[in-house]
Amino acid sequence: QMQAKEQFNALLAQALAEVPNQDRIILDTGDGAAISFLGDPEDGLFLGLALRDALAVRGEDGLRLRTGINLGPVRLVKDINGQPNIIGDGINVAQRIMSFAEVNQVLASRSYYEVISALSADYAHLFRFEGARTDKHVREHEVYALGNEPAPQRTPRRKPGPATAHATAALEKLGRAANTTRAQVMRRPPLATALAVALILGVAITVRLALRDAATDTVVEPAVEADAPVAAPETPQQAAPAVPPPSAKKPPAAPAAEARSAVPPPKTTIATKPPPPPDKVAPAAPVTTGTIRLSILPWGEIHVDDVKYGVAPPLRDIALKPGMHRIEVRNPGFASYLQVVEIRAGEEIRIQHRFR
């Protein structure tokens, strides 16, 4: 196990050699690693490609890894022992995506696939849709598997901008003040607050070692019960009609009795009721809202009429009432994008923006 961990650390160091230290956060999880990228989303893709190619060269005698990639919010904090730790939905979903992966397979979430495929068509061709998976919290995830296509030519790495510099400074401050309360954070200037809370929003990758000496999961198939023979319903035996014994000839009946026997028995009439008319189908309710479809790269906070609706991605669609609405997209380190739109019932408006 120690030898496998050393091989894994060496492989990871080689794959991350070209990623600047200020653009990545690496945590040792004991049986793997949790990595958060603060720079380009491509860093996560090319790490997955490097792991895939290295494992293919080593063959069956090499490491056994499971890899999950997700795009979502994360935050760097310090645990009870003063050690750095990554928390947030970004890393949590990455771990769940990883749990769906087979040995030596790289899976990505829908939010990451949408962003990386929008950057280049070559990146989109690397993945294939695997379907939806449900985790233990009954949360559904759409996953995409990294195929065997060769790695494409990577676009030039962007130069560190003010957002990266502010992120590094924010992390250093966080390391020196691990006991900073939320109230103190909220009293910072708006830009610094956004950086400290939401800037660490990048590609969260979880890699886990599937060691050979680990116990293999045993799936117990439920026993199939044999169908019980169906007993035939018992038919009550009908008593044979008693044969009347021969009797002596009876005297002829009286005329009144003959008259009564000549009257035919009354007929039974069954009254039938026509079936009720089918229920009238209620007309469909008229559409009273319009839809805004978002395509924001790499990410941004969505504010509608000064009300925060979430982060896109993964947020894609927003239903709004008809009328004029003010849409603002914020990303720390960049100027906000503002657009005023008029919403009509049943219509869809697309808003696309890429922070540069």
Per-residue pLDDT at 172: 52
What strands, in cross-sheet order, belong to the sheet with 317-320? 317-320, 290-297, 348-354
Decide: helix, strand or coil at residue 128: strand
The structure's pTM equals 0.50
Nearest Cα residue to 70 out of 28, 39, 41: 41
User: How far out from the chain centre does Cα 331 lie?
Assistant: 24
pLDDT at residue number 274: 58
pLDDT 10s digits, 11-55: 888 888 888 888 888 888 878 888 888 878 888 899 889 888 888
Axis-axis angle for helices 2-15, 42-58 (nearest 10): 130
8 A C-beta contact, residue 36 and residue 74: yes
- Mean pLDDT across 180-185: 38
User: Residue 341 is which amino acid?
Assistant: V
The domain 290-354 belongs to what CATH superfamily?
Answer: Carboxypeptidase-like, regulatory domain (2.60.40.1120)
**Six-digit token string for 172:** 């250093």
The pLDDT-based confidence of 127 (bands split at 50, 70, 90) is: very high
Which range is most confident: 162-166, 181-185, 324-328?
324-328
- 80-121 tens-digit pLDDT: 888 878 888 888 888 899 999 988 889 999 999 998 898 888
CATH superfamily of the domain spanning 2-158+199-209: Nucleotide cyclase, GGDEF domain (3.30.70.1230)
pLDDT at 230 over 70: no
Pick the most confident of 76-85, 184-193, 281-290, 298-307: 298-307
pLDDT surpassing 90 at residue 299: no
Please give the Cα distance from 196 to 222 (Å, whole number). 51
pLDDT at 285 over 70: no
Spatial contact of 42 and 158, defined as CB atoms under 8 Å apart: no
Q: Stretch 308-317: mean pLDDT, rounded?
A: 84
Q: Which of 133, 113, 21 is nearest to 71 (CA)?
A: 113
Q: State the pLDDT confidence band at 255, using cuts at 50, 70 and 90.
A: very low
Alpha-carbon gap, residue 33 to 79, rounded angstroms: 17
Would you state the pLDDT for residue 197?
A: 25
% of the chain at pLDDT higher than 90: 14
Q: State yes or no: pLDDT of 325 exceeds 70.
A: yes
User: Of 30-34, 140-144, 174-178, which gets the smallest average pLDDT?
Assistant: 174-178
DSSP 275-328: PPPPPPPPPPPPP--EEEEEEEES-EEEEETTEEEEEETT--EEEE-SEEEEEE
| Weakest-pLDDT range from 52-66, 107-121, 266-280 | 266-280
Q: Is the pLDDT of residue 189 over 70?
A: no
Confidence of residue 251 (pLDDT cuts 50, 70, 90): very low
Report the 3 state secondary structure along 262-275: HCCCCCCCCCCCCC
pLDDT reading at 191 higher than 90 = no
Q: What is the pLDDT of residue 356?
A: 82
Residues of the chain above pLDDT 70, percent: 61
How many helices, marked H, and strands, marked E, lie in the chain? 9, 16
At position 56, the amino acid (one-letter code) is: A
Least confident of 3-7, 42-46, 83-87, 165-169: 165-169
DSSP string, 95-121: HHHHHHPPTTEEEEEHHHHHHHHHH-H
Q: What is the pLDDT of residue 284?
A: 58
Task: Please name the residue that has the structure tokens 């100027």.
Answer: 335
Q: What is the mean pLDDT of the chain?
A: 71
The residue extents of the domains of the chain are 2-158+199-209, 290-354
